[in-house]
Structure 1
Amino acid sequence: MEGHVAGIYVPSRGSGDWRCLLADPEKHWRLGYSAVSLAESWEAAKGLPNEIGQLLSSFGSPSELLLALPEHKVPLPGSHRGHSQNDLFALIRVGDQTLAAMVEGKVDESFDKPLGEWLINASTGKRERLNFICDLLGLRQPLPHTIRYQLLHRTVSAIIEAKRFKTDMAAMFVHSFSVKRSWFADFAEFVSLFGVDAEPDRLVCVRPEHTPPLYLGWATGARAGVGATGS
């Protein structure tokens, strides 16, 4: 697996700066869809959006956004393009601890392909990548073919970066802007792999014995152009 490429980052001047980082800036940047909604929400909050703060309130300590990196790539083994391009990586202080969180923005988009479809005619590289992910997440194969692959590699990205930044905790949040909570059932099925039940707008620890401990959460925000999510 290739390592990270060192980068120099400059402060964002607004949500428009997020657009150029997308894999396809023309296709993915549309009002009412996840990329715009996520960017507008986090930019407007000037820190943590309220719904993310509510997730973290279960720790019982104040939380503070230290760093946020849109479209953050985390290398994974298995191919020359083997990386997870996460919608947002957030480094967060919670009381006297730090949390490395991957944030996946959603409106009505799915979590990409189910594992059964992703594994059709799977290359050796794909198999290697899935083995790596399952080992790091502590999941036993075979996994149900209905599990969404995107949730697997987004979550393992959080653990990789938590280890790299030496944070106390790791987390993957789905930041949803769907009033119908579209695709929550898929998220809940993924969480159930760890023997835990998922609830909207509640943070759950799925691997308390892990180093670092792993948390998963679903936060519900307002879609861009519909209402504010932060202050």
Structure 2
Amino acid sequence: MLLAFPEHQVPLPGGSRPSQNDIWVLARSQGELISIAVEGKVSESFGPTIQEWQAQSSPGKTARLEFLQRLLELDLVPLSIRYQLLHRTASAIIEAQRFNAQHAVMLVHSFSQSHEGFHDYAAFAELMGGSASRDSIISAGSRSGVSLHLAWVQGNTVCLDK
């Protein structure tokens, strides 16, 4: 780890709200830089689906979704995908581009004992071309010139008591 910033905001086109990472990390491994956007979860969801998010459509939301699709190199985003997973992944790629990092990781750090939200993460991983499993990292190929990886890791419940 080279740098870590809690509550790190990454501006996104098409709207006034940035993507706010619980923690954003710039790391180095084997001489290559890695941008890591961390989304911490206990028992909350990843928020609205694309369908729910678009319920009150606006030009800003349309522009933002088009930007996310271009950046993530997706032709179509199923309406059942959680919006937060798209913009959190985008923030990892945007920061990788900003710091000239070769790799971007969108990492879910879950403390849920029932693995709440994992099915949404798995659907997103499948959309990105991977097959999700817990406590592992998967490759989602090159996206906008950056090698993208997705990960779901289980946090130690001892941390919840502190």
| TM-score range normalised by the length of the shorter chain | over 0.9
Give the strand-richer structure, 1 or 2.
2
Q: In the alignment, what sits opposite 1:88?
A: 23
Matches within 5 A, 1:121-200: 121-141=56-76, 143-200=77-134
Aligned residue number for residue 10 of structure 2: 74
Q: CA RMSD in A?
A: 1.4
2:40 aligns with one of 94, 100, 105 = 105
Aligned-partner Cα distance in 2 for 1:225–1:164 = 34
Q: Any stretches of 5+ residues in structure 1 without a counterpart?
A: 1-64
The amino acid of 1:173's aligned partner reads: L
On the 8 A contact 2:110/2:154 being kept in 1, the answer is yes
Alpha-carbon distance, 1:225 to partner = 3.8
Query: Which structure would you say has the larger Rg?
Result: 1
SS of residue matched to 2:124: helix
1:216 is matched with which residue? 150
TM-score, length-scaled by structure 1: 0.67
Alpha-carbon distance in 2 for matches of 1:137, 1:90? 20
Counterpart residue type for residue 84 of structure 1: S
Could you say which residue in structure 2 is the equivalent of 1:58? none
Instruction: Give distance in 2, aligned partners of 1:201 and 1:225.
Output: 18
Shift of 1:215: 0.4
**Post-superposition CA distance 1:105-146 (Å, at most 9, x none):** 0011100111110001210100000000010000112x2111
Secondary structure at the counterpart of residue 2 of structure 2: strand
AA aligned to 2:5 is: L
**Structure 2 residue runs without a partner (length 5+):** none
Distance (whole Å) between structure 2 residues aligned to residue 154 and residue 209 of structure 1: 14
Deviation at 1:96, TM superposition (A): 1.4
- Measured in 1, the distance between the counterparts of 2:47 and 2:114 equals 18
CA distance in 2, matches of 1:152, 1:210: 14
Question: Number of paired residues?
Answer: 161
Aligned equivalents of 2:142 and 2:65: distance in 1? Answer: 22
Q: Aligned partners of 2:18 and 2:102: how far apart in 1?
A: 24
The reply on whether 1:201 has 2:135 as its aligned counterpart is yes
